C-alpha cells in the first residue's frame, strides 16, 4: 500500500509520551504517506478524548486493545517501533520489553534518549534516540527513517541480530545464575 507504518503497542498513558507522538506525526511532511498505528487502552476517557481531538490524530490508525497473539503479524507490517516515554523516574532506569519486541521483529526503534536506552540502541545501531518531550525531534527521526529505507532496514536487522545474540533468555539466564551463585 506504500504507507510507511509506525507502531506503538502498550498503555496509552500521558507519561508514555502518546500526546508527543501525535504532535510528531502532525509535523510530518504532508506528502509523505506515514501512519501511526496505536494499540492499547487509554488511561482515562478524558485523555482519550484529548488525544483523539489533536490534529495529528488524522494520521493515526487506532486499533484499541490487541490480543498478544496478533502483535507479531502487526509488527511485521510496520517500518518502525516507537517508545518515547517521558522522563519520569520509573522510566529513566527501566528497560521496557517493547524495545526488545520491536528489535526482535526487525524494526528500527525510535526511543527516548535515556542513558540506559541510548546505550543499547546506539551500541547495537538499531534505531534513533530522541528527546521524548520534543515532538519536532521525534518527527525528524521518523522522517530520517522514511527518507533512508536502506538505513532503516539495516537498523532493523541489527536489532534482530542483537536480540538473537545478546538479549535473550540464554544470555540473561546465565547472568542471573551467576548472580545467584
pLDDT in tens, 82-119: 999 999 988 888 888 899 999 999 999 999 999 999 99
Q: For residue 5, what are the CA distances in angstroms to 22, 80, 114, 165, 168?
A: 14, 7, 24, 27, 26
Per-residue pLDDT tens digits for 119-167: 999 999 999 999 999 999 999 999 999 999 999 999 999 999 999 887 6
CA dihedral 5, 157, 39, 139 (to 10 degrees): -50
Per-residue pLDDT tens digits for 36-55: 999 999 999 999 999 999 99
Q: Residue 165's pLDDT is what? A: 85
Euclidean distance between CA atoms 159 and 43, whole angstroms: 30
Q: Is 67 helix (H, G, I), strand (E, B) or coil?
A: coil
At 78, phi and psi to the nearest 5? -110, 160
The grid cell for 152 is 532503516
**Can you list the alpha helix ranges (DSSP code H) found in 124-148?**
135-147
Residue appearing with cell numbers 541480530 = 161
Beta-carbon contacts of 54 under 8 Å, excluding residues fewer than 6 positions away, are 19, 22, 23, 26
Residue appearing with cell numbers 502518546 = 18
Q: Residue 170's pLDDT is what? A: 59
Residue appearing with cell numbers 476517557 = 45
The grid cell for 148 is 533512508
Query: Does 179 have pLDDT greater than 80?
Result: no
Residue appearing with cell numbers 500500500 = 1
Average pLDDT of the residues in 54-82: 96
Q: Residue 166's pLDDT is what? A: 77
Count the helix, strand and coil residues of the chain and give each as a percent rounded to the nearest 5: 55, 15, 30
Amino acid at each position: 500500500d506504500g504507507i510507511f507504518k509506525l507502531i506503538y503497542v502498550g498503555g496509552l498513558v500521558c507519561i508514555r509520551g502518546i500526546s508527543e507522538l501525535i504532535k510528531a506525526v502532525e509535523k510530518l511532511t504532508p506528502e509523505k504517506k506515514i501512519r501511526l498505528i496505536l494499540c492499547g487502552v487509554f488511561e482515562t476517557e478524558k485523555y482519550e478524548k484529548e488525544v483523539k481531538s489533536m490534529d495529528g490524530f488524522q494520521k493515526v490508525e487506532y486499533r484499541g486493545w490487541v490480543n498478544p497473539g496478533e502483535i507479531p503479524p502487526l509488527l511485521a507490517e510496520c517500518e518502525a517501533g516507537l517508545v518515547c516515554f517521558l522522563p519520569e523516574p520509573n522510566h529513566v532506569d527501566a528497560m521496557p520489553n517493547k524495545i526488545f519486541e520491536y528489535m526482535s521483529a526487525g524494526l528500527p526503534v525510535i526511543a527516548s534518549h535515556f542513558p540506559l536506552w541510548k546505550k543499547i540502541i546506539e551500541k547495537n545501531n538499531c534505531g534513533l534516540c530522541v528527546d521524548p518531550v520534543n515532538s519536532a525531534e521525534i518527527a525528524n527521526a521518523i522522517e530520517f527513517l522514511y527518507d533512508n529505507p536502506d538505513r532503516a532496514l539495516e537498523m532493523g536487522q541489527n536489532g534482530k541480530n542483537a536480540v538473537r545474540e545478546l538479549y535473550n533468555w540464554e544470555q540473561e539466564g546465565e547472568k542471573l545464575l551467576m548472580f545467584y551463585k
